[in-house]
Structure 1
């Protein structure tokens, strides 16, 4: 019931409150009318009893006068007076029947001298309250008195006969007079009993009706006031809450919500305001995130430009020097070493970028193998010892004895890559200090803690360490080089292995501790699927496969065709989206390789247009944009899969073979069968 009231509209609540008040007032008036009519009926009943008693006394008086005067007029008066109690008796006896004749009842009470307007009230009293003890006792006394009327009439007949004789027996007259007096005394007794009981009943009924009337008035008025007060209170509370919420939202407090107390118009308005606040907050948050992402990417590109141009400048400069015939052999070897070292740094930078794109696009391959922890640590030590020595930093490895001969199933190269990244960072930010690598177990995981005594990381920067492209120092005078990809890549690689990389603790001037965890997976648990590679035989299933290569770069077209044609794939090319749509619809290609950035019409528009035209064949996106949002955008316009540039041949073959299994009508699958 409470929920029903809450969910009613405000208008319906008003109707109910006003209608309820009107109904309650009507009930109150009805109760009052009932009380008045009932009391009036009791009054009429009491009045009827008075007429009965008066008529009976007059009848006795007339009969007595008849005895002493022998005047027949008094005898006739006796019978005239007796008509009143006899009429009441006739009405009473008719009412006692299961199905009384109301006309007969009316006639009886009218004979009894009761006013016509009072007769319905007397009938209601006898019918409605006939079983009440007071009325029942009064009716019993009335019945007893009525039974004596016949005896009184009989005595009058005896007198009439006695007085009609020539000689009157005075003894008989005296005896009849004594009987009449005795009957009169009994009638008086019954009349007194009737009046007394009826008086008590009248007072009881009056008190009962008064109590009922008071209770009805109190209930009706209380209910009305409660409904009015409750409705007004809830309305006022909701309006104040709505006003406060809109004021706070106007001030920019978008986290403000309005309590929803009901499902009426006010509750719906509160929900609408809450939704508006949430949508505004979400939209503003998205805008801020987008602005922040753009800013971070801009900073990253500027930094990347510096990081790439610097080694390229060194390589080009050293190459120019090597062309000088006056450079000695010793100097040439020195410059070649510089070129080689710089080339390795540039390759590492590009590899990091490629790894990030692979992780973001979901194409990172994890190759599980048995890895001995002690051997891996020795290998990493050998790789990083020279750099640590150049920085004047002591590099130490602590491996728990029970782990020295342990073998775990993981990707050796990816694990080594993460450790090298973490140690390289630690060495870069530590001079004349110490970097220590501790290896142990925690629960079901193996941990690698890389701690240093370097410059540390401010608290305000720690929450952003693992964001894409983040660097603590983005100024033009920054002391430490780097792309800001190392920690991001390390965490993504660790999670692809089932573990994680976290900053355990750090403080400015006190160094940092990073923890890498990987699952302690047994060697016999190496998943077969993760270690399987494409066989040469499976690649030959591509023979006869028809592929449309859509790319505005002829070099890319030539490169992709080179990879595909050696396994018998039939290739065709298109240079923009318009050509791609035409050729795809006119020729039975099995797959379309769609570059997403092209002149005239890009790959997004071309893919969307093909799908709108009902094209059902697989479309694979080709793009150098390799973030997750780029992949999602390609899939959203209708691409079945996604490949990043530069194209890796193994991934290309694998994608094409997977698409054959998802599209059974392709020729390659039928050949494979």
Structure 2
């Protein structure tokens, strides 16, 4: 039978069986040789190695016995003599134990072991006689007996000589075993090499046979297929065989014949229907394109209309939100002019003006923040952040407002000490929580507001829950969009620009997290967001004593201050705020004037440098001042609060940075930092 007529599956089974046979043969040879190597190894361990180790220990016992016999002649009392006799007894027992091991494992002449045992017996007998002399008080004879050339020393040398005979035989036996192991290893290597060569030769032969029986039909079929693909409709496979490839080749040829017959029939029909079909398909394609374009235009129109409606609603709401606190500021400012006001009324009006100013500042900050996010200039500043301190600050900040409204504020903290210190953007976390708590207070008339966090796997999950009005299901997704505040009816009932949640969502995503809401109408809402939990391993626990010292208000000397400011209102406000720290105040309305005053007054302690001034900017003025005065403290105080403004001020030579509007608490903190005694 021709090999090419044998089925491929049977050929592969045959090859597998032969390969398995060779593997089993190689495994049997390897096992047999490894068994022999194991036996040699066991023999080496049980005789040469065990005997040599026992002889080494016996030699140590004999030397120690001789040493203690010498020490026996030097004892001065019964106690010392008792100790030495115990050691001599111990070394005798150890010696007999090791001689017993040698007797069991030694493969040489038994007379060698008997001679060694007799020599050790003789040594022990001499030692016993010497001990009796010592007990009789004959120290001089004991001393002479235990010397190297005395009777004990002679017996020691005699035993060591017999020990060496046994040891030499053990070493020789070990060398013999080693040579036999090498020969066995060489034999194993030769056998394995022969088997590997046979397997390689067999594999090459089988490979060539299979390659010929498989590659040729595949080549024939591939060649015929390519010719047919290139347009040769009469391409046929010339391979013939009774195996699977022969069947495949015959099926391929039959398929080609069938396709040719169908093609001829289809060509005939296509000639009759081609024109009509072509027109119909072209019309259908045009209609499909038109439907697609119309759908896209309708979607774009809806988005544009919705965007325009949202922006119009936002601008109307923003106009209302800005005008309301502005009306409060201007109205109560006019009322303060009345000479008939009591002190209590004046303080009440001032509080209203301050609250209105803070409200308008919050709106402006929201607009600036959303503008930064839209422009892509808001960056993440990763620092070491204590989450518990954030929670405490948040609670302290909102506690007065919740108490005024009759709400209960609950704070939940689950991490302690170093676990609560993580690497994240401290300002953004505080901004997110602030926006969420503001919303909770705004939409809750009674009940509780709960803020907190907990660690879940590799994330930190924050929550802000309230018992307020709740959010309808259909509005829970859109509340995170720009300019949204739930339904428009809510925006009319509650103050706010509708930007807080969209800012929070953007900040959470910048920190690599996710934000979502769970709510039930008339029962309240829960806002959740999670961020990666990146613990700060470099954090060091704060010393409480140092912290207490920091809380003590330091004394600040009266300073000479230069205010570089071109706006009269801001200048007057700053002058009032810093009056408690100053003995002398100098005013400069331009950058050039600031440099000149600083040159003429080298004893100036502090410069409050506005950045945007006529003639010369605050940056340039600072650089020029630093050329002749490196010691004076300079605070940049400016309305610039965008990306990189702080860095520009510090690079120009400023010691620190104050953003307008003027914050007295922050200014006081900087004064304590740079001028406390």
| TM-score grouping bracket, smaller chain normalisation | 0.3 to 0.5
Structure of greater relative contact order (alpha carbons < 8 Å, 6+ residues apart) = 1
Structure whose alpha-carbon radius of gyration is higher:
1
Normalising to structure 2: TM-score of the pair?
0.42
Normalising to structure 1: TM-score of the pair?
0.42
